[in-house]
Amino acid sequence: MNKHFTITIHDDNGVRQFNLHKFVKKAFLYAGLFLLVLGFIAIVTILYLDYHIDTMQHKKDLIEHANESLKKKNELFKEMMQATNQSLLAKKKELNKLSDSLAEIETLIGLKPIGDESLRERVSIAKLNSSQRATLLQLIPSGSPVEYHGITSKFGYRIHPISLKREFHRGLDMKAKSNTPVYATADGIVEWSGYHKSSGFGNLVILEHTYGFKSYYGHLNKVVVKSGQFVKKGDLIAYSGNTGMSNGPHLHYEVRFIHRVLNPFYFINWTQQNYNEIFQKEKKVPWQSLITATSRLRVIPQIQTRQSSQQVQKLPEK
């Protein structure tokens, strides 16, 4: 059996022949197959790696896009934060101004913050709506007890027209002809109704109101209410006259707070329109406690009485 094969090579130098063993032939064949397989594997590997590189590049592009989007959102968020901080600073300044304004109002009406009250609580105490204001004006003497025509003798020291001695006048002497209707200046109960010898007021009506207030109506010609009777603001209680130590027809009118005599003119002139003035002028009343106690009152609207027609816009102080 021939185990050799001949390779003939023709070139310029002539013909050459090489005798090779078949084993070498197989070796070349196997080497060629190996290289072919190796090349195939290399191509597949290259294609696989190229695919994964494309995939990774795509993911990288997505991540970069997401990162850019995140940066933009972060910048937008920073701008929003800056705007919010500026808005908060503006609100803080506004609240500080509001707090200062509220402090001025509290000082005006005699209020002082108690403890650690919030701004909202302070506002709720200091701010009374028209209904609540109307309630105070209903419960505390306000407005004129008679149709206002002026004052003949004001509150304070004076020479008494009959005794001619210098003494403190506890009320106002209001101009009123005999039998002029006299009306209650606030809701209350009749504490006294009749002739009062010791005071010199003659026929006298004393009304006891809520929160420690009282009102006095003296020198009356006739009283139309009885002791213990409940009256509403604006109810007719008497007619003016000249009884007691009086030198002519008029109405003596007083307002007191737990035995402290107050200037009735401030209360006669007290209306919704100039509601806060009395807090500044009348210092003998602890308005802080009063307003705190009444800040959450809810009232039922009152039926208007004849007294509503007696209210004055603004009275000139005598």
Q: Which of 159, 96, 101 is nearest to 127 (CA)?
A: 101
Lookup result for tokens 């197989």: 26
Q: Is the pTM of the predicted complex or chain greater than 0.85?
A: no
- pLDDT exceeds cutoff 90 at 143: yes
Please state, in angstroms and rounded to a whole number, the distance separating the CA atoms of residues 97 and 78: 28
Both tokens of 3, joined, read 């185990």
| Phi, psi (deg, nearest 5) at residue 182 | -115, 130
| pLDDT higher than 50, residue 308 | no
Residue with tokens 């009356």: 220
* CA–CA distances in Å: residue 295 to residues 15, 24, 132, 214: 129, 116, 7, 22
Q: Are 4 and 21 in contact (CB under 8 A)?
A: yes
Which letter does DSSP use for residue 260 in this model?
E
Angle between the N-to-C axes of helices 22-108 and 119-126, in degrees from 0 to 180, rounded to the nearest 10: 30
pLDDT digits (tens, 9 = 90+) for 27-68: 778 888 888 888 889 898 988 888 888 888 888 889 989 898
Which residue type, as a one-letter code, is found at position 151? I
Q: Helix (H, G, I), strand (E, B), or coil: what is residue 202? A: strand
Would you list the DSSP string of 101-152? HHHHHHHHTT----TT--HHHHHHHH---HHHHHHHHHHS--S-SS----EE
> What residues form DSSP beta bridges with 168?
157
Alpha-carbon gap, residue 157 to 155, rounded angstroms: 7
- Which has the closest alpha carbon to 213: 282, 150, 309, 160? 282
pLDDT in tens, 92-138: 888 777 777 666 666 655 555 545 666 666 665 555 556 677 888 89
- CB 149, CB 316: distance < 8 Å: no
Place of tokens 């290399």: 42
pLDDT tens digits, residue range 260-287?
A: 999 999 999 998 888 888 988 898 998 8
| Residue 291 neighbours by CB under 8 Å, 6+ apart | 109, 111, 125, 126, 128
Model confidence at 7, in pLDDT bands (50, 70, 90)? low
User: Among 49-53, 180-184, 198-202, which range has the highest average pLDDT?
Assistant: 180-184
CB 217 within 8 Å of CB 255: no
Alpha carbon separation from 286 to 60, 119, 122, 313 (Å, rounded): 76, 21, 17, 26
pLDDT at 168 over 90: no
What is the C-alpha R_g of the chain? Answer: 52
Degrees, nearest 5: CA angle 281-142-124 = 70
How many of the other CB atoms lie within 10 Å of CB of 7? 11
- Look at residues 198, 196, 216, 195 and name the one whose alpha carbon lies nearest to residue 207: 216
